[in-house]
Structure formats: C-alpha cells, structure tokens
Structure 1
C-alpha cells in the first residue's frame, strides 16, 4: 500500500489485482465491512503468509474470507491463553508478595530496600511508582492517610504488570528466598522458573497487544519440562505448541483442574479449526499442535 492512505474501494481493487477472489458483489460489500472493522494493515499480518514475497500476488484461489477465519482463530487462541496466563500471573504475584513480606516482616516496603533489591531496579522503579501513586485511587488514598514514601508491598504489587513483578523477583538478592518461591512450583532450580516465566510473559504480551500469535517463536528455547504429560515431544522448543505445553504444565502447578479445563478448551478450538482448510494447514505447519 506504500506510504499514502487509501480508500476502502482502492484497497478492494488492490486485493483483486493481487489475486483475491470475490465471487459476487455481496462478497465485495462484506469485504468492505471487514476492512472497516479489522483494517487492511492488520489483516496484512495474516495474508503475508499466502503471498509471493516479491510480487505480492496471493496464492491461487485465495479468498479474503479464509484470511479472516485465520485472524479470528488466532484471536480466539489469544483470548483463551490470556485468561489462563492471568491465573498464573495472580498466583505468582501472591507467592512473591506473601513469602517476601513475611521473610522481611518488619519491612513492608522491602521492595525498595537496596539491601534486599538490586539498586538498578530501584532507580527504574521510582518513575513507575510516581505514576502509580498519581493514578491509582488505592495508592492515592494510602498516601493521603499515611505519611510515607511508599505503600506496603501487598498494595503496590497489585498494580504492577506480570513483567514488572517478575523483574522484582529476579532482582531479589537473597537466593534462598528465591529458591523458596521457586519451590512453590516444585522447582529447586531458580533458572528453570525464570525461563518458564519469561516464556509465559512473552506469550502474554503478544495476546494482550493483539499481535500475531500462531507464528510466534520464543527468542530462547523453553527448557525441558519435568513432566511426561506436558513435555515437548519434538526438538522445537520455541514454537506456539511448546509455549502451550509450558502453560499447561505451570498451570497444573497452580490448579490441575484449570489445566485440564484449558486442555479441553484448546482441543475444542483446534478441532473446530480443521473445518477450514487454510486454518487447518496453519495449525499443522506453523503451530504443530499435538496436545
């Protein structure tokens, strides 16, 4: 589309020139509705895989409806995974705050104590906290009622992102405390928990910001999952299938019922995807779903 804005009619014309098939005027009108709803640029992230990279011509007999089905399949998977990742996020936040706050029971603002947390994190957090205490009614009320620089950890951490919470965990100087938190999930190796949480946060960010999920690959491979049921069966430890297996495994540490529930919902969603040839092809070639 270049760098100039285009009308819906021009976008339709461009799609036809590049080989998208519209059987009648009704399909063209429906396409206009879709482009005004989702957007030409966003859909381009999905039809990219079905174009010649040099000419931008679409695969033979390609229909916009197939691309839209892939878009909504990807969206449905994101919303499903996000719901269960949030369960892990809340659980991890609770364990970190509970165990650290009780370990430093005389210091309810341990998260800004340079003896406990790496100084680099504290410098970064000052700006974060300033924004929080001017926008969060809970923190505004706290500072109106109490003369202090920071609110207790259990109040503050409710307003931090999964990534920020995890970063605090990595910056704790007390290695034994970190091991204690990791042991909640059955891990003696803190680096294992680090790898798993980074991977889940990466997926969460894709889902939260509505990026393309089906073709996402972790930047670092997921470490071996110590559970035969959820262990990755192939050498590919970066694709979405590996991330789904990891999510199921970590979720099972929080609640086996929720892990079973997610597995069932995934099966239903992926089975339904087989109804469309293009989406089914993506599931088999890109995601390689094997739950």
Structure 2
C-alpha cells in the first residue's frame, strides 16, 4: 500500500515510465494534475492499463485520458438535467393521484392503512425537528398549525429527495394505486416502474456526487424496456439505464426526449474517430454507434 505523498514532478515521471505518451506541454499537465488530481484521473487511465504494474497499452496519450474525463463530466451534467425533469414529474404524479384516492387524508404517507410498516418505522427519524427547521415551508406550516405532527404531502414531498419519493411509491400497499401511477408512464407492472426508478435514483446520485459513470454497473440490472433491445442483451450498463430514462421521458415530453437523444448522439459522435474512447463507449458504457 502506497502511503508516501508524491510530488507533481514524480507523478509525471511515473506516467512516462509506465508508457503514457505525455502529448501536452509539461506545464499544462502539471496544471491538470493540480486541478483534477492524480488519483482522480487514475479512474480514467485505468482502462488503458495492461498489467498489475499499471503499465499502459502502447499509444495511450494523456490527451485521450483527459478526453475520457470530460466525456464523463459532460455526460453527468446531461443526465442529471433530464433525470431532474423526470423527478419533478414523478413527484407531481405521485402526490396528485394518491391524494385524489385518499382525498380526506392530506398526510396519507404516514397512515398505517396506506403505507407499509417498514416505511413508517423510519418516518419519525426523517421528519424530525431538523427537517421542520431547515425547510422553510414546512417550518411555516408548523408555526401556523402547531398541533399538526406532519404537513400535507404536497408540502412535504417538495423537500424529499428523488430517492425518498421513490421509497414512498415502493411502500404504498394498495397495488391498484401503484398500477394507476405506473400506467401514466405506459408501464403495466408497478415492479417494472419501481426498477426503472431505482435505477435512475442510482444514476442520479452517481452524477450528483461526481461519480465515475462511463463504466457504471447497475447491480440489479434494468428490467426490459418495452420495445427496446439492450446492446449485447446486457442490462447492467449505463446505456441500459439511459434507455429506461428515455422511455419514461417519452411519456412525459416527446420534445424533451428528442432533445436528450440528440444531445447524447452529439456527445458520443465527438469520439467516433477516436478508437480508444469509442471502444470504451461501446464496451464499458454500452452505447452502440449506428
């Protein structure tokens, strides 16, 4: 285990010794190593390593590593924008349709007759003094209505994360309500919508926390997307998650779906002539060029 701090100069020597073509001026390479970091960039030159000594495949260029890094950055920004669009739509649909079903119960998300016990056992620890204090509309509600233990769902859910909203959907016990919401996205089985949403929460969180996503592995895999074939029949790649996102978006806004598709194609086409990165896009990310 390496425990010694390595200077920028020594980092550059290591890369050169391992066979990387340092095809930029050393001053620029130093600037990038100080900006992004040697360890962080290691995730992006790892695909080009050929052995346990971390030697690089012949022809590996520093510029190629940086291209892969910025592909990852641009893809994160792109995906999180459209996942946020989905999040807003799903929150609205969940709040509206369940509330219409239980129109006399504004805090149905706390009701033992509506929500599964495993969800309810955690709600008090989530909806606590800190939650009420830091979220202004919730705070105002409890000042105005001091006897209320909880605020109505349409107020509360505005302060829930995407993952928390998806958890609410997961733990609604009446399957007919879950199916009603699923059908809004042209999905027959609630379990399939749940799978899509869980996948996109995972992708969204990876993007939001600057995770490396070009080789993202979706552990449980994506359930079959209606009318869509996964590349190489592999459902665990980021591309499979993107296909789930596109399917759900199509049932929200065809304009936004077309917009996302065009932006994805434009992003990947930037690297169509770069064999090293193209191979990663196809084999790691799972995208298939036309």
Counterpart in the other structure of 1:220: 220
**Paired residue secondary structure (1:254):** coil
Counterpart in the other structure of 1:261: 259
Unaligned regions of 5+ residues in structure 2, if any? none
Q: Which digits, 9 at most, give the CA deviation of each residue in 1:128-181, with x for residues without a partner? A: 222321211221222122111111111111111111111111111111111111
Counterpart in the other structure of 2:17: 17
Is the Cα contact below 8 Å between 1:214 and 1:240 reproduced in 2?
yes
Q: Does 1:56 align with 2:90?
A: no
| Counterparts of 2:154 and 2:232, CA distance in 1 | 41
| Counterparts of 1:193 and 1:22, CA distance in 2 | 47
Unaligned regions of 5+ residues in structure 1, if any? none
| Counterparts of 1:247 and 1:149, CA distance in 2 | 36
Q: Which digits, 9 at most, give the CA deviation of each residue in 1:108-127, with x for residues without a partner? A: 11111122112221222222
| Counterparts of 1:288 and 1:226, CA distance in 2 | 18
For structure 1, which segment, 281-290 or 104-113, has the greater mean C-alpha deviation from structure 2 after superposition? 281-290
- TM value normalised by structure 2: 0.93
Counterpart in the other structure of 1:128: 126
Q: Does 1:167 align with 2:167?
A: yes
Counterpart in the other structure of 1:31: 29
For structure 1, which segment, 186-195 or 3-12, has the greater mean C-alpha deviation from structure 2 after superposition? 3-12
Using the TM superposition, give the Cα deviation of residue 275 of structure 1 relative to its aligned residue in structure 2, in angstroms: 4.2
Counterpart in the other structure of 1:246: 244
Counterpart in the other structure of 2:92: 94
| Counterparts of 2:77 and 2:178, CA distance in 1 | 31
For structure 1, which segment, 116-125 or 14-23, has the greater mean C-alpha deviation from structure 2 after superposition? 14-23
Using the TM superposition, give the Cα deviation of residue 3 of structure 1 relative to its aligned residue in structure 2, in angstroms: 2.4
Flag as ranges the 4+ runs of structure 1 deviating above 6 A.
none
Counterpart in the other structure of 1:73: 71
Counterpart in the other structure of 1:177: 177
Counterpart in the other structure of 2:143: 144
Using the TM superposition, give the Cα deviation of residue 188 of structure 1 relative to its aligned residue in structure 2, in angstroms: 2.2
RMSD across aligned C-alpha pairs, in angstroms? 1.7
Number of residue pairs matched by the alignment:
287
